[in-house]
Amino acid sequence: MKIHEYQAKEIFSRYNIPVTKELLCYTVDEVNAATVKLGLPVVVKAQVLTGGRGKAGGVKLARTAEEATAAAKQILGMDIKGFLVEKVLVAQGVKFSSEYYVGLTIDRNTKSVLFMASSEGGVEIEEVAKDNPDAILKFPIDPDLGMTPFMARKIAFALFDDFKLVKQATDLFQKLYRIFLETDASLVEINPLVLTAEGNLLALDGKMNFDDNALFRQKEINALLEPTEDEVKELDAKEKGLTYIRLDGSIGCMVNGAGLAMATMDMIKYYGGSPANFLDIGGSSSPQKVIDAMNLLLSDKNVKVVMINIFGGITRCDDVARGLVAALDQIKVTVPIVVRLSGTNSKEGLEIIKSANLPVVETMTQAAQMAISLCS
Ligand code: GDP
Ligand code: MN
């Protein structure tokens, strides 16, 4: 889950990390009022849950009231990568001499939090990573020790010479690590962290992502959720006991079990097709679940064929088949369906499917190939 810059900076503030003075605005009038309150110059920044705002023209420095108004008019209502800008952050303009990057994420190789730091902040860090990877310093943080003062100082010394700044950075880095752990974040980033004209460190921007699987214990963070259309569907599916992730392809998949669902998508790809989704309907044979799953699949207009892949283990194929037939009796399905049933009681299951006039196959290969041919 992602949150906005202003929300990330509110969290930073709570941990006493210095951030710019700023106000969130929804209208041009509010921006004008905020500009008066904060004093010129100000920076008007689009608040959208996607990166690359700067490049898209969503961050503008205004030196006069007129410029602030113009920036507000331009940015509010703007479309950035499919996200409508409904609010902007008006931040007090800051004079600074250098821009740094700091970021925390989880590194699967070292199985620890990775602290990244660079003196080439400001610009897109992805470009620095590509063109000059050595400019990004990486420090795995031992999960048992945490961010010790020694480690924080080591990172600080890698960026700064001045002892006053090293002290500020040491404190700031320890706080960032605490934020990362205490909020179940998957990413915490300050880009840029600037050295102001007064000689202090200040977070000019802030970015945080969170582990969705930890949101149940992060009530405050969860309350900030602004789901996209796709995410609304995914949450809705979760409530019905389904695990659904939308993808870009045209073959709707309905599978019992996450592993088999992954294998199904692989099989479709292998034979040259593309899955429209990941969908795990779990182990039950309840017709309601199949109805819910089918409605979910069909709500995606890209779906040209539905491939149902069931492996009967504890769930018996004949039960699933009956559920399937009952479900399909109740909803109108306009696209072709391919059913693959295998495992416990598959013979009985296949008979039931056949008598309902549905095309049925016994192997995943056949199912994938048939689904792909029905697509084109
Ligand atoms: P992003 O491009 O979406 O990451 O937005 P940022 O908030 O990081 O701003 C992009 C760049 O705009 C920064 O790297 C700065 O160079 C510049 N910028 C942002 N705020 C200020 C400010 O208060 N004063 C000045 N002079 N530049 C700023
Ligand atoms: Mn930035």
Q: Phi, psi (5° rounding) for residue 120?
A: -110, 55
Average pLDDT over residues 337-360: 90
The structure tokens 């697509």 sit at 375
Q: What confidence tier does 288 reach under pLDDT thresholds 50, 70, 90?
A: confident
The structure tokens 């899955």 sit at 275
Which of 182, 176, 131, 179 is CA-nearest to residue 152?
176
Say if ligand 1 is within 6 A of residue 41 CB.
no
Query: What is the C-alpha separation between 287 and 325, in angstroms, rounded?
Result: 8
CATH number attached to the domain at 21-93: 3.30.1490.20
Q: Which strand ranges, in their side-by-side order, compose the sheet holding 337-343?
A: 243-246, 277-280, 251-255, 305-312, 337-343, 360-361
The per-residue pLDDT for range 161-212, each reduced to its tens digit, is 999 999 999 999 999 999 999 999 999 999 999 999 999 999 999 999 999 9
User: Residue 148: CB partners within 8 Å, gap ≥ 6?
Assistant: none
pLDDT computed for residue 285 by the predictor:
67
Q: What pTM was computed for the model? A: 0.83
Q: What fold does the segment set 1-5+7-13+96-226 form as a domain?
A: D-amino Acid Aminotransferase; Chain A, domain 1 (3.30.470)
**Residue 100 bears catalytic tag:** no
Q: Phi, psi (5° rounding) for residue 27?
A: -135, 165
Which range has the worst mean pLDDT, 102-106, 181-185, 324-328? 324-328
Examine the pLDDT at 79 and tell me if it is beyond 90: yes
CA 173, 175, 181, 186: dihedral to nearest 10 degrees?
-50
Which segments of the chain are extended strands (E)?
A: 22-25, 42-46, 59-62, 79-80, 83-84, 88-92, 96-107, 112-118, 137-141, 185-196, 201-203, 207-210, 243-246, 251-255, 277-280, 305-312, 337-343, 360-361
Average pLDDT over residues 275-279: 96
Q: Which strand ranges, in their side-by-side order, compose the sheet holding 42-46?
A: 22-25, 88-92, 42-46, 59-62
pLDDT computed for residue 323 by the predictor:
84
> Which residues are in the CB-under-5-Å shell of ion ligand 2?
191, 205
Query: CATH second-level architecture of 229-375?
Result: 3-Layer(aba) Sandwich (3.40)
Catalytic residue among 6, 100, 101, 244: 101
Please report, for the chain, the start and end positions of each structural domain, with discontinuous segments joined by +. 1-5+7-13+96-226, 21-93, 229-375
Amino acid letter, residue 28: V
Structure tokens, 60: 């503008």
**Residue 101 bears catalytic tag:** yes
Structure tokens, 24: 């969130």
Which range has the worst mean pLDDT, 44-48, 142-146, 191-195, 225-229? 225-229
pLDDT computed for residue 326 by the predictor:
86
Average pLDDT over residues 147-167: 97
How many Å is the Cα radius of gyration of the chain?
26
Query: What is the C-alpha separation between 374 and 376, in angstroms, rounded?
Result: 6
pLDDT computed for residue 162 by the predictor:
96
The per-residue pLDDT for range 209-264, each reduced to its tens digit, is 999 999 999 999 999 999 988 889 888 998 888 999 999 999 999 999 999 999 99
- The alpha carbon of 148 and the centre of ligand 1 are apart by a number of angstroms equal to 31
Which class for 65: exposed (0-12), middle (13-18), buried (19 or more C-beta within 10 A)? middle
Query: What is the C-alpha separation between 183 and 172, in angstroms, rounded?
Result: 16
Q: Which residue's C-alpha comes closest to atom 11 of ligand 1?
A: 122
- The alpha carbon of 205 and the centre of ligand 2 are apart by a number of angstroms equal to 5
Average pLDDT over residues 277-293: 85
Pairing between strand 42-46 and 88-92?
Answer: antiparallel
User: Residue 334: CB partners within 8 Å, gap ≥ 6?
Assistant: 298
What DSSP element (H or E) covers 331? none
Structure tokens, 173: 């880095």
Ordered DSSP codes for 168-179: HHHHHHHHHHHH
Q: What confidence tier does 126 reach under pLDDT thresholds 50, 70, 90?
A: confident
Query: What is the C-alpha separation between 339 and 358, in angstroms, rounded?
Result: 7
- The alpha carbon of 102 and the centre of ligand 2 are apart by a number of angstroms equal to 11
Amino acid letter, residue 131: D
